Amino acid sequence: MTSDKRHVYAFYFCLETDAFCVYISAGLTVLFSGVFMMPEAHQDAIQILVFCVALIILAIFTPFVLKALKKNKTSTPADQIAARESDKLTESIQTPPREKVLQPVTTSSEAVLSGDEAATVEKALLKTRENFWGRIKNAFSSNAVKPLDDVEEVLYTADIGSTTVQSLMSHLDETLSSSDKKDLDTVKKTLREKILSILHASNGSVEHDHLAIPQRIKWAAEGPTVLMIVGVNGAGKTTTIGKLSALMAGQGKRVLVAAGDTFRAAAQNQLKVWTDRAQVEIFSPEGVTDPSAVAFDAVAKAKAQNYDLVIVDTAGRLHTQVNLMEELKKVKRVMAKNSPEAPHNVWIVLDANSGQNALIQAREFHQALNLTGVILTKMDGTAKGGVVIGISNELKIPIKILGIGERIHDLKPFSQQEYVDSII
């Protein structure tokens, strides 16, 4: 083999773009270079050997390389993000969330009841703002020829959900002229208006923003109102029930909390700590392991003893387990036997940090239980608050409340205007 040919082969291997191939190319280049340095006498035999090895490696890896190159060519960045997102979602549906070990709550209710600094939605949403508006602004400051392409990427990674991203992007595309598409202020204004219209469609007009938390509950015309709380473990159900009970008790309502998560002793203990703090009664009959029986008896007790509000806690193991959904459907059905309209409210608690998973959970629970409201917890400190837009757009379930901290008062009514002002 002439030295020119050797160069051609070495060059061919180095030309490959795939990372995998770069490794192989580098290896072969080293081998070829080694051959150059061999004494003339041994070169022919070694050249043949190296050439054969190269052929075998090529035969093995060429199909992979071609497949990788084809994939790179056919999918757009948006497709790739969507594909990654969908893989993540499928994985999350199939893999049970690791059950969180509940930490004992501090026994000093003072520590929970008071706080040095008032938590606000605006403060809670600072990271979401950075992740959303901050990155959109960057897309425009980088002098990109088509900043909207970068905006699309920002939206895809802002936990809004691909369906909603597509509807936001088509709106920008259809309503803006080519020069408007390069103008940050116009894009901002158009995005704000579109997000607000999505939120209005599921949360009602902006007047709803002014409703206090008790006004967001659908109250029974007669007898106790039942509020069923569902959601996966660790989402913040117990904490939220504690906060809500304290709030309602503070407004003079008689509240009964039904400990319907009969599967976990720890959950019942934790709920007891929170009801003690909130100074409301807990219904947790000894030895009853059937959650439907607990819910049924709690509603009966509330009716007999004139409670205003029954908050029913429920189990939250893996939402994709058919059994859990069937169990929850039964809990819901059974309560209606005691009070035909009950439960008057079925609210899901979602951890905002779980981003796209929160959307999936809401969809699954909605299919089974026909949810009437959403509480998004842990909005403080998450960068994934964009999920609010996805839930509103895809499921049209009103967002009732935001959890913005671990303290008993860290619960705020969801305001569409405040949300939009905070993130963009």
Q: How far is the CB of 262 from ligand GDP (least distance, A)?
A: 14
User: Which stretch, 46-54, 85-93, 143-151, 400-408, contacts ligand GDP (CB under 6 A)?
Assistant: 400-408
Q: Counting every residue, how long is the chain?
A: 424
Q: Is 244 in the site for ligand GDP (CB under 6 A)?
A: no
The residue among 420, 382, 379, 384 whose CA lies nearest residue 198 is: 420
386 within 8 A of 158, measured Cβ to Cβ: yes
Q: How far is the CB of 316 from ligand GDP (least distance, A)?
A: 5
Residue 213 per-residue DSSP state: G
Q: Is 398 in the site for ligand GDP (CB under 6 A)?
A: no
Which of 128, 164, 233, 392 touches ligand GDP by CB under 6 A? 233
Q: Is 151 in the site for ligand GDP (CB under 6 A)?
A: no
Q: Which residues 6+ apart lie within 8 Å of 414 measured at CB?
A: 203, 376, 388, 399, 400, 401, 402
100 or 337: CB nearest ligand GDP: 100
CA distance 276 to 310: 16
169 or 229: CB nearest ligand GDP: 229
Apex 321 CA angle, 319 and 327, nearest 5: 85
User: Which stretch, 178-186, 275-283, 340-348, 373-381, contacts ligand GDP (CB under 6 A)?
Assistant: 373-381
Q: Is 412 in the site for ligand GDP (CB under 6 A)?
A: no
Q: Is 231 in the site for ligand GDP (CB under 6 A)?
A: yes
Residue type, 173: D
Q: Is 405 in the site for ligand GDP (CB under 6 A)?
A: yes
Q: How far is the CB of 225 from ligand GDP (least distance, A)?
A: 21
Apex 15 CA angle, 13 and 17, nearest 5: 110
Residues of this chain, 295-324, that bind ligand GDP according to CB under 6 A: 316
Which of 230, 280, 389, 404 touches ligand GDP by CB under 6 A? 404
User: Which stretch, 19-27, 79-87, 202-210, 377-385, contacts ligand GDP (CB under 6 A)?
Assistant: 377-385
Which of 223, 291, 403, 413 touches ligand GDP by CB under 6 A? 403
Apex 242 CA angle, 409 and 226, nearest 5: 120
Which of 97, 147, 223, 236 touches ligand GDP by CB under 6 A? 236
231 within 8 A of 365, measured Cβ to Cβ: yes
Distances (CA, A) of 336 to 47, 225, 370: 84, 12, 14
CA distance 415 to 400: 9
291 within 8 A of 314, measured Cβ to Cβ: yes
35 or 121: CB nearest ligand GDP: 121
Q: Is 237 in the site for ligand GDP (CB under 6 A)?
A: yes
User: What H or E segment, with its residue span, contains residue 376?
Assistant: strand 373-377
Which of 224, 234, 291, 386 touches ligand GDP by CB under 6 A? 234
Residues of this chain, 270-289, that bind ligand GDP according to CB under 6 A: 270
Residue with tokens 């901050």: 134
16 or 313: CB nearest ligand GDP: 313
CA distance 44 to 5: 14
Cα dihedral angle (186, 195, 244, 373), rounded to 10 degrees? 180
Site residues (vs ligand GDP, CB under 6 A) = 100, 102, 231, 233-239, 270, 316, 377-378, 380, 403-406, 410
